[in-house]
Amino acid sequence: GAVVSQHPSRVICKSGTSVKIECRSLDFQATTMFWYRQFPKKSLMLMATSNEGSKATYEQGVEKDKFLINHASLTLSTLTVTSAHPEDSSFYICSASDETQYFGPGTRLLVL
């Protein structure tokens, strides 16, 4: 299957700071990438759809000014959690789609 990477794998930051998470499709070009959030023992919650060269489409209830998404190339999308607070602590997972969605390994964010 296709390979998707995420960086960093885990990050700890202070409340009020911003954190950037990168998602890369390593062996295929993805015009569409997706960002999910997952709480412990829960299913994946779609946050937004990231389209190369255009604005991201956010799901209802997801603050676009809080979670900034940039999809600058066919192999890279970034999610920036701005002014992070402890309630933003979660497991963030991206996926890249070439019809089937392939997922990255996830990023564990802990906001102190």
d(CA 87, CA 68): 17
Chain residues in the site for other proteins (CB under 8 A):
1, 4, 6, 32, 34, 42-44, 46, 49, 93, 95, 97, 100-106, 108
Residue number with CB closer to other proteins (82 or 89):
89
- Comparing CB distances to other proteins, the nearer of 10 and 83 is 10
My answer on whether omega of the bond before 105 falls inside 30° of 0, hence cis, is no
Q: Which is nearer to other proteins, 20 or 59 (CB)?
A: 59
Q: How far is the CB of 54 from other proteins (least distance, A)?
A: 14
Contact 95, 45 (CB under 8 A): no
Please tell me the distance from the alpha carbon of residue 21 to that of residue 65, in angstroms, as a whole number: 15
Cα angle at 96 between 94 and 87, to 5 degrees?
15
State the minimum distance, in angstroms, from the CB of residue 68 to other proteins: 20
| Minimum separation from the CB atom of position 16 to other proteins (A) | 27
